[in-house]
Structure 1
Amino acid sequence: MSTYAGKTLTFIDLFEQDGLIQIPVLQRDYAQGREAESEIRQQFLASLRESLCAEDPWQPLDLDFIYGSMEEGEPPVFSVLDGQQRLTTLFLLHWYLALRCGEQEAFQVTFLRHGRSRFSYKTRPSAREFFDALALENDIQLPLGQGSLSDQIKDRKWFFSSWLLDPTVQGCLTMLDAMHEAFHDSPASLYTRLIDSQSPRIIFQFLNLNKFSLSDELYIKMNGRGKILSDFENFKASFSSNFKEFSLNDDLERKIDGVWADLFWSLSHGNTERFNSFYLRFFLLMAFFRQCEFTEGQFEKIPENNKLLLKNLRESKIYRPQTMPFRFDAYGLQRIEAVLDYCVANEHVRPLLHAVLEQNNYLTESRFYALVCLIHQLKTPTSDQFLRWQRVTDNLIHNQIIDSTEVFLPLARSLRRLATHAADLYAFLANTDEAMPGFTQEQWQEEKLKCQLLHSLKWQDLLQHGDWQAEDPSPCYESHPYLMGKVGFILKMSCPEGEKIPDPDLFKENADKVCALLDKSILNSDEFLLQRALLSLADYTWRCAGDKYSFGKHNGASYRERDENWFRVARTPLFSELVAAIAGDTRQSLLDLINYSNVSGWRRLMITYPETFQYCSECVIGKEKEDHGKQEIYLVKRKQYNGYNTDLRTYVVKIILDDKKKTNILPSGIANYRHHDVIGHSQSFIDITLSDSKNYRITYEGFQFVSHLKSEKREADWERSMPDAIANFLKEYFPEEDIAA
């Protein structure tokens, strides 16, 4: 072992000489066997099995660096500083496969010395004794009868129950059970493959730190951290060995510490920790993209270990080689070089690069993957090619829900296919009948239609991207912050009657109105002008759950929010009717619709009193009983009744009284009032005190206002009574048939 200063080895290579491998006191317990590490354990074992069972693996599974130092003595001891978890798992795998394949004697020849295990822990005597007994005793039988492998081990005379107090022993038993589950049906040749150093299946990079003359102080720091290098530095070392496998540009290694490092240093604003995390995130994301391209078929049919690998590559902020058994092929490495070189040379793409390094969301990752596809296809796209690709792919990406790898996979396939036409994208889209299942068909058809229109200069002025936020913007409707590329419904309403082709002048007129209607000043208005104007035309609300109906949330941060709210309305003939009613100033046009509305019932109340919308925090109302055009409406704080809610009518009474109270002129005979909303399905009410000090409780039930005189009796026994003062007040604002005698 002492001869290996820095070399690629198998686990069996470490035991060629007559020494021991020991986990020192400063190290933690064996963690890969913990119950909480189930996901990592399963992924690691799946990777080990895949490497061992492959008939002709294209490369061994590389478990990255193992560090440690030699302690002189008889025998010499290699003390592990980094790699404890991986080495322990490999020792247990050798023991299990020797048992599984009938190679116990061969195992003992290698791993026993004078009746003791050559791999051991110095952390606790119980751990050392367990490894000694496991290697020495030879009385475990496979296949198992009833119970687990760990149960069989614990039942042996040589196993002391006190060992179960040791977390390392507990972890080893859990790992052995997991190994049996993963390898119980494996080929009988696996142990031979595992110990074959000539055609290795599992390797790591071994460093004997004595050969580097490192100080004791550094040893202490390393022991405290568990590793000598940062996660990115570990990855970089592995990555460097990766690209040396291929005959690539000799400048690649120099770029990692040169111009590429300068790029990430600039993006991280000189912060070392962010620099390392950004650099690592980039490479893991590129590995995620490449693994997605390797992954075929429907997501639900993908093996679980492959799903877990995709998850780890995309989400991890640290480098764990045992859970990320991925190495780039020549294609992947060439693409990394092309992308980073392009980002170095072109500042306009750096905001997107920075965003994808900072954020962990599929939308940004999809946009960056689109850029990756373009660069790899065209190397150095022209300005027109870049802008056209960005416009089309942004429109496609922004207008679908991308919230999982299951959705990202077909999207990535379609982007990659589309990139093969990036040199003349508009011509391809204008003429293709090809389906792209990774995109929503609505948006895919819209992009094809727009490219057919773009042969006209007039349409180019209307549809090309610009800056919507500019002081004097061109009519770049696609870049409107709510539309984000979706203008298909405007194109549809801009077709002259009886025709299928939209008219550009009519489109411009309609698009101006739509953009004004969906402007933040309208959507975020506490007057709820858009909702009230729509209600003046029809009941446009839609069922969202049970008896709950939405009137539209203004939030448009994601496509899901836009699609489930105002895009849902915009696709309807009612929205076209609203657009047609806009003339001149948008706000005034909406107010005119509201003020001149002649609707009745609950719609009239909500149109007249915007405070009713303000009550509904989730923009949801409840609709219950309906009879002869009348309907009981409930305003709800949440989407369910488990939050505060009130019936519409008593809340409108409160609004009216609040307005009168501000002028210190309450209706004749009314001295005071208090509205009570409720939680759950209880009946909301408003208590009114008259000038004669009598108190009445007003509820709305059975489509009428009902009044009870409050008294000391049980509420159920209160006298039903509608005093003139309250009745006269209600008649001013509600139909007389709504007021019970």
Structure 2
Amino acid sequence: MENSTGFKDILTKAVSKVYMPTARKLKISIPIIQRDYAQGRMDNKAADIRNKFLDEILNRLKSDESLFLDFIYGSIEDDKFIPIDGQQRLTTLFLLHLYFAKKEDKECEYLRRFTYETRSSSREFCEKLVDYDIDFSKEKISTYIKDSNWFMPFWENDPTVKSMLVMIDEIHHKFKDAKFYDKLENIKFSFLELKDFGLTDDLYIKMNARGKPLSEFENFKAEFEKELSQDIKTKLDNQWLDLFWNLNSGDKDEIGLSNVDKRYMAFFNRVASNFTILSIKDTKEAKDFNFDEFDTLDTLDFFSSNKNNVNNVNNVIKILDELCEVANDEPLKNFTDTSKDITYETRAKFFALSMFLIKFGARGIGGEFYKKYERITTNIAKDFNIDSILKLRQVFEFINEICEKCKNKDIFELLESFDDKQPESFKTIEFYKWQEKKKLKLIQSDERWIAAINETEKHWYLGSNLTFLIDFAKDDIKEFERYYKKFDEIFKEDRENFLFQRALLTKGDYLPEHGNSGYFTFCNFNNNPRSKDDNWRDVFYDKEKRRFLKNLLDDHRGLQDIIEEFDDNKYWGYYFIKYPEILKECSNFWILAYDYTIRVLRGKFTNSYHVEYYAFSLFIMLQRQFPNLSNEKLGYKWAKSYGENPYASIGDNKISFIKTDDDKYCWMIDEGRIGEVFDPNLPEQDPLQSIIDKAYKIAKGI
């Protein structure tokens, strides 16, 4: 066909019968923007394409007929032809020329002019194939190649190399009895220079109908490499790539490659977004920042030298280089997991590792300084309630402060800069800085604190928040160990008997209030920072409430004995203490209390089913006293809005506790009002005192 040429002609002759303004010899360079060689993949579709293509070539060469492979499109830069469409066919032709040239002892130096830019390992493999001989007596040439001393094992992670090895074996299988080197010139194609088009993603996607669009990482890498020296570029496809291959638990097939590229891209994106957070200057910027909107363009912008961000590139190079020396790959694995949303805690932990690698290098990991550094930064990441970008920035600033202040790898250098005064709120980063300083001072004063603190911080709920126990012990290590042992013994989640909550209530009203709305909680044991802040931490760090906890820890009796021996039936919490059935009804531990009215909630608000505390206490007492009464004869009516009035029912009688229109608190039996319960003019009494005898009499009567 006119204007057609052969593969060898492009590389060895001044080509003129093509659509080019001048004739010249060319190199063929597969660009970074192209995907990997795919005709050698092991999936069924690739195998079918491979077999049909090679069978067609075999039949044409046997019959000494020409084979025209249509147009190959691309651009020409200097002496390089850069294909946009045709990469797969050109690579197969390269392997055919190599196979027959080596087999028939032909000169093949011209094949050096064919190269891959997608990965340095692909390029190096092609060069070595030209340099070294092949043993054609082997059944599988790929095995011989992989066993050769020039073959680098990590090349097997390169999908192009893997595909080439498969294709070489298939060529050998079909052509091992043939000598077709001189006939390869029968395979022709026309190639068209698209000089009016740039090598853009859109053009590639539109024209490469046989392939697939580039991955996000491949597009990123094509631009990012512009910021790198040649030796650093090599690491992208070798040492650094291995980091992400090692995280891939599945077979290293096409799916595996996709996962690797996603992890690789996630790494760059998340490192860039982390360090962007650190550079945010004010609260408004922090509030406006959104990780979900931080995309590849933002990542490229972060690493662009045009933005004077050379240090950002140097930092990520340093992190990757040092990660190659880190034995534990769990931090990187968690940080680059693309199957779920990454948590602030994971971000903070990886930022701490990143800063350590930048400042101190991988050699310091495992040393005494790193152990202390890791303990403190893990405490902050895990226990501080990081629920916003602003708080995450505060954590990053704290981590950065540690790295800046501890230049001599002395963790105690932090003591000079942190405030000695305990902050008012335990929910701030300043509190955690103060808390870590308090522990460091103890460790500095007595090394026995190291083991004590390390052991206590393993507690499933406390974590690093143990300074209330240190305060109880007045900085005495023996007393601290005693308090912790007692706390560990009695602080249990118990959905049947609620012994800890009920025993603590005997010491005083420990319930934290939710704002000023009248909602109070008995505290749940949910093990996340937000829940902890709104529940037990509010008890541990409240000056009044923690006294009740200390009294409980100082009480030598068991929890059950404390509960059984409590006898103040005038105390508002008496029935909660005596009857675990009421707390079981309070399934989310919330109550709504206004003056003497207490609604016990199943949910968090009064639009969930709920009971009235005193009427429900009466119902439980009657159940215990008259166990043989059926549900029809003894029952309870729940409410689902604050306007409804819950009541206990005994036969046809409805007994309720109400607040009247004239602000009096009375018992009602049906429509009849029993005398005022909380009368300030009368002596304080048990709220059930005026109704219990009447209720018993009704129950006995049925």
What is the TM-score normalised by the length of structure 1?
0.57
1:568-602 alpha-carbon deviations (Å, 9 max, x no partner): 111245434544544799xx722122111122243
Of all paired residues, the percent bearing the same amino acid is 20
Residue 353 of structure 2 corresponds to residue 371 of structure 1 = yes
Match of 1:736 in 2: 690
Match of 2:187 in 1: none
1:285-333 alpha-carbon deviations (Å, 9 max, x no partner): 111123234433x121x4xxx976x52xx3359x542796332533222
Structure-2 separation of matches of 1:721 and 1:257? 85
Structure-2 separation of matches of 1:402 and 1:641? 30
Structure-2 separation of matches of 1:211 and 1:230? 15
Match of 1:315 in 2: 292
Residue 608 of structure 2 corresponds to residue 619 of structure 1 = no
The Cα of 1:384 is off from its aligned counterpart by: 0.9
Q: How does 1:109-258 map to 2 (within 5 A)?
A: 206-207=198-199, 218-219=208-209, 222=212, 228-244=213-229, 250-258=230-238
Match of 2:518 in 1: 547
The Cα of 1:657 is off from its aligned counterpart by: 4.7
The Cα of 1:666 is off from its aligned counterpart by: 3.0
Q: Which letter maps to 1:265?
A: W
- The alpha-carbon distance between structure 1 residues 687 and 563, as it changes in their structure 2 partners (threshold 3 A), is closer
Q: Which letter maps to 1:241?
A: K
Residue number among 507, 510, 513 corresponding to 2:486 in the alignment: 513
Structure-1 separation of matches of 2:431 and 2:611? 40
Structure-2 separation of matches of 1:543 and 1:211? 62
The Cα of 1:642 is off from its aligned counterpart by: 1.7
Structure-2 separation of matches of 1:581 and 1:208? 72
Match of 2:158 in 1: none
The Cα of 1:490 is off from its aligned counterpart by: 1.3
Secondary structure of the 1:424 match is coil
Structure-1 separation of matches of 2:562 and 2:380? 35
Residue 310 of structure 2 corresponds to residue 330 of structure 1 = yes
- The alpha-carbon distance between structure 1 residues 666 and 578, as it changes in their structure 2 partners (threshold 3 A), is same
The Cα of 1:206 is off from its aligned counterpart by: 3.5
Residue number among 559, 562, 567 corresponding to 1:590 in the alignment: 559
Match of 2:568 in 1: 599
Residue number among 597, 601, 607 corresponding to 1:632 in the alignment: 597
Match of 2:442 in 1: 453
Residue number among 261, 279, 287 corresponding to 2:241 in the alignment: 261
Q: Is the 8 A contact 1:70 1:208 kept in 2?
A: no
- The alpha-carbon distance between structure 1 residues 672 and 327, as it changes in their structure 2 partners (threshold 3 A), is same
Q: Is the 8 A contact 2:610 2:638 kept in 1?
A: yes
Q: Is the 8 A contact 1:623 1:632 kept in 2?
A: yes
Gaps of 5+ in 1: 1-16, 18-67, 72-79, 82-204, 223-227, 245-249, 466-475, 496-501, 626-630, 709-717, 723-730
Q: Is the 8 A contact 2:601 2:608 kept in 1?
A: yes
1:139-193 alpha-carbon deviations (Å, 9 max, x no partner): xxxxxxxxxxxxxxxxxxxxxxxxxxxxxxxxxxxxxxxxxxxxxxxxxxxxxxx
Residue number among 487, 511, 518 corresponding to 2:466 in the alignment: 487
Residue 380 of structure 2 corresponds to residue 403 of structure 1 = no
Structure-2 separation of matches of 1:392 and 1:681? 47
The Cα of 1:210 is off from its aligned counterpart by: 13
Secondary structure of the 2:336 match is helix
Structure-2 separation of matches of 1:384 and 1:642? 55
- The alpha-carbon distance between structure 1 residues 615 and 689, as it changes in their structure 2 partners (threshold 3 A), is closer
The Cα of 1:433 is off from its aligned counterpart by: 4.9
Structure-2 separation of matches of 1:307 and 1:733? 51
Residue 645 of structure 2 corresponds to residue 684 of structure 1 = yes
Match of 1:697 in 2: 654
Structure-1 separation of matches of 2:293 and 2:581? 46
Match of 2:53 in 1: none
Residue 533 of structure 2 corresponds to residue 563 of structure 1 = yes
Match of 1:647 in 2: 612
Structure-2 separation of matches of 1:547 and 1:525? 24
Match of 2:371 in 1: 387
- The alpha-carbon distance between structure 1 residues 272 and 677, as it changes in their structure 2 partners (threshold 3 A), is farther
The Cα of 1:734 is off from its aligned counterpart by: 3.4
Residue 283 of structure 2 corresponds to residue 299 of structure 1 = yes
- The alpha-carbon distance between structure 1 residues 243 and 654, as it changes in their structure 2 partners (threshold 3 A), is farther
Q: Which letter maps to 1:600?
A: N
Structure-1 separation of matches of 2:225 and 2:642? 65
Q: Is the 8 A contact 2:591 2:599 kept in 1?
A: yes
Structure-2 separation of matches of 1:566 and 1:554? 8
Structure-2 separation of matches of 1:605 and 1:580? 21
Structure-2 separation of matches of 1:568 and 1:732? 30
Structure-2 separation of matches of 1:251 and 1:660? 85
Q: Is the 8 A contact 2:623 2:634 kept in 1?
A: no
Residue number among 316, 324, 333 corresponding to 1:344 in the alignment: 324
Structure-1 separation of matches of 2:420 and 2:271? 27
Structure-2 separation of matches of 1:569 and 1:331? 46
Match of 1:168 in 2: none
Secondary structure of the 1:542 match is coil
The Cα of 1:531 is off from its aligned counterpart by: 1.3
Q: Which letter maps to 1:207?
A: L
- The alpha-carbon distance between structure 1 residues 591 and 654, as it changes in their structure 2 partners (threshold 3 A), is same
The Cα of 1:705 is off from its aligned counterpart by: 3.0
1:463-515 alpha-carbon deviations (Å, 9 max, x no partner): 453xxxxxxxxxx11222212212211111111xxxxxx11111111122233
Match of 1:12 in 2: none
- The alpha-carbon distance between structure 1 residues 285 and 737, as it changes in their structure 2 partners (threshold 3 A), is same
How many residues align structurally? Answer: 470
Q: Is the 8 A contact 1:646 1:677 kept in 2?
A: yes
The Cα of 1:697 is off from its aligned counterpart by: 1.4
The Cα of 1:524 is off from its aligned counterpart by: 4.3
The Cα of 1:282 is off from its aligned counterpart by: 0.8
What is the TM-score normalised by the length of structure 2?
0.60
The Cα of 1:229 is off from its aligned counterpart by: 0.6
Structure-2 separation of matches of 1:563 and 1:215? 54
Q: Is the 8 A contact 2:335 2:347 kept in 1?
A: yes
Aligned-pair Cα RMSD in Å:
3.9
- The alpha-carbon distance between structure 1 residues 614 and 274, as it changes in their structure 2 partners (threshold 3 A), is farther
- The alpha-carbon distance between structure 1 residues 234 and 609, as it changes in their structure 2 partners (threshold 3 A), is same
Secondary structure of the 1:523 match is coil
Match of 2:151 in 1: none
The Cα of 1:671 is off from its aligned counterpart by: 6.8
Secondary structure of the 1:267 match is coil
Structure-2 separation of matches of 1:457 and 1:251? 50
Q: Is the 8 A contact 1:616 1:636 kept in 2?
A: yes
1:93-134 alpha-carbon deviations (Å, 9 max, x no partner): xxxxxxxxxxxxxxxxxxxxxxxxxxxxxxxxxxxxxxxxxx
- The alpha-carbon distance between structure 1 residues 645 and 464, as it changes in their structure 2 partners (threshold 3 A), is closer
Q: Which letter maps to 1:352?
A: P
Structure number with larger C-alpha Rg? 2
Structure-2 separation of matches of 1:449 and 1:389? 15
- The alpha-carbon distance between structure 1 residues 679 and 482, as it changes in their structure 2 partners (threshold 3 A), is same
Match of 2:262 in 1: 277
Structure-2 separation of matches of 1:624 and 1:537? 22
The Cα of 1:376 is off from its aligned counterpart by: 0.7
Match of 1:43 in 2: none
Structure-1 separation of matches of 2:555 and 2:292? 50
Q: Which letter maps to 1:489?
A: F
Structure-2 separation of matches of 1:361 and 1:418? 22
Q: Which letter maps to 2:629?
A: L
Structure-1 separation of matches of 2:242 and 2:489? 44
